[in-house]
A and B are shown apart, each in its own frame.
Chain A
Amino acid sequence: MEVNNADVEDDRELLQLMIAGEEQGFTALYRKYQAPVYRFALQVCGVRHIAEEAMQETFLSLIRAPANYRSDRGPLLLYLFGIARRLVWKSARRDSVYSPLEDDRDLPVSSPAFVEDFAQRDQARRLHHAILSLPRKYREVIVLCSLEELSYEQAAAVVGSAIGTVRSRMHRAKQLLLRKLRERGSGAAVNNDLFLSCPRGLDYDL
């Protein structure tokens, strides 16, 4: 999700409305950002109830202390990502049950093209599983940069690291992803079906 200056201005106005107690302000902000925040949480932790809880708490913290967000430090979306990230890891540690995608069976499929193209669905499913098996620091940058389309700079603001750190983590994450996909694939040399060969035991749907 791209963020520009106009968005920042809009967000500031909506936030002012929200601080003044106007429900429209909050509703507009929520509808604008609930999807990316929830998606981020879900893709990072892979467990639906943790993602819902993290997202709810993220917006609750905005309701409780809207003044904590300072527009000069970056767009509101990045601020929300930062809160959600902390909450997701906190919940994951607390639950200490990490079963990626166990609740993910009934997620609806997006475009008809994907429904028709089972191979691509399967490919996406396998890739997501591989992402969830990455160590935390690599997983979050892959989700932020590749799936949420943030720049390295914006991702660095969310995870609280330097841009160089994010870049090197992205490199490492992609290398790990390739290795995992290769291992779970045919086991042979990489071929065109790298992302199409589905390992046994992974029978969930996206």
Chain B
Amino acid sequence: MTCDEFEQLLLDSQNRVIPEGWMLRASKAALIQEHVNSCRTCATRMGEISRLEKALDHLRVSRMHIEAPPSVEKELLRAFRERAARRHLGTRLAFSWKLAWLAVATLTLVVTSLLMYSKLKPNSTLTEKTERSGSERVISPRSVPVIASAASGIDRAQKPSPTNPRSTPKRRLAQAGTGITQAGRVMHFVPVSDSLSLNGGGSVVRVTLPVSSLAAMGVPVRPDLSENRVTADVWRDPFGAVEGVRLVPANANAH
């Protein structure tokens, strides 16, 4: 055993007293003893470390009694009581807030649902009626490719009330121009004040175009008025395809 190995072993020992508490195998202990007997420096070293361990032990014992001043405990207890009281109040407040938020959320949900229902209801269905059978059926908006003024012949006087476009389907049928009846369906007005739902994307562009262009979009028009120009809002889907056309009255255009 070298002196370094000896010191390493000595320092690595967790025992307080050396060599009384030396917990090594007999063979190793014999080696150590042999080294101590032969090396005066290590013997001294062993004595030093032994005394250091004892001194550390004495120091530990001498400090066992040390405690924090009582004032610290008082301060901490005061802080604990304050904290506990605040937490108790906080829990109650949090419960009240939770109830309030729940009520507000429920109310918002109900109001939003009602609003959406009332918004969607007029546009959600369109009435299609054939001249021949006179029967009426409800169809979805997507099944009508073009929503246009029945007055493709620029007869805005016949436009029904924007506030209730579905009120008189029979009357609207009677008011429809030649082009409409040729297509076999009633084209409803989309009032200017109505807002289109663009949730699915797309855009609305206001353009001035000849009546013949409306024909190209599939709107039935009177041939004798094909040279006239009209102002219309064109509703295009995200891919640019025309979804609908809405004729704009002259007075609305002025604004």
Contact = CB atoms under 8 A, between A and B. Distances in A.
Binding partners A and B:
yes
Interface of A: 18, 21, 23, 26-27, 30-31, 34-35, 37-39, 42-43, 52, 55-56, 59-60, 63-64, 107-111, 114, 120-121, 123-124, 127-128, 131, 142, 145-149, 151-152, 167, 170-171, 174-175, 177-178, 181-182, 189-190, 192, 194-195, 206
A111 B12 contact: no
A189 to B, nearest CB: 7
Given A56-B72, A175-B11, A39 B44 contact: no
B65 A108 contact: yes
B72 A34 contact: yes
A171 B56 contact: no
Given A30-B76, A34-B72, A175-B11, A110 B83 contact: no
A26 B58 contact: no
Interface residues of B, number: 36
Contacts of A31: 73
Nearest to B53: A146
B170 interface: no
Contacts of A43: 63
A147 B77 contact: no
Interface string B72-90: 1101110111011001100
30 contacts: A23-B80, A26-B80, A30-B76, A31-B73, A35-B67, A38-B67, A38-B68, A39-B63, A52-B69, A52-B72, A56-B72, A60-B79, A63-B76, A63-B79, A110-B61, A111-B61, A114-B58, A114-B61, A124-B59, A142-B56, A147-B56, A147-B59, A147-B63, A148-B60, A167-B12, A171-B8, A171-B11, A174-B11, A181-B52, A190-B44
Contacts of B52: 174, 177-178, 181, 195
Nearest to A41: B68
B62 A23 contact: no
B18 to A, nearest CB: 12
B64 interface: yes
Given A34-B73, A38-B68, A56-B75, A21 B62 contact: no
Contact of B62 (A18, A38, A56, A111): A111
B49 A174 contact: yes
Given A21-B88, A63-B80, A174-B11, A55 B72 contact: yes
Interface of B: 8, 11-12, 14, 44, 47-49, 51-52, 55-56, 58-69, 72-73, 75-77, 79-81, 83-84, 87-88
A35 B16 CA distance: 22
Say whether chain A's binding surface is mostly helix, strand, loop, or mixed: helix
B77 A23 contact: yes
Contacts of A177: 52
B59 A107 contact: no
Given A37-B68, A123-B58, A146-B60, 19 more contacts: A21-B88, A38-B66, A38-B67, A56-B72, A63-B80, A107-B66, A110-B62, A114-B61, A120-B58, A121-B62, A127-B55, A127-B58, A145-B14, A147-B56, A171-B11, A174-B52, A182-B48, A190-B47, A195-B55
B204 to A, nearest CB: 56
B228 to A, nearest CB: 78
Contacts of B64: 110
Minimum-distance CB pairs A-B, first 7: A21-B84, A38-B68, A110-B65, A146-B56, A171-B11, A124-B59, A35-B67
A194 to B, nearest CB: 6
Contact of A178 (B49, B66, B68): B49
Contacts of B87: 21
B160 to A, nearest CB: 67
A47 to B, nearest CB: 14
Nearest to B54: A195
A18 B83 CA distance: 11
A189 B11 contact: no
Given A52-B69, A56-B72, A171-B12, A63 B59 contact: no
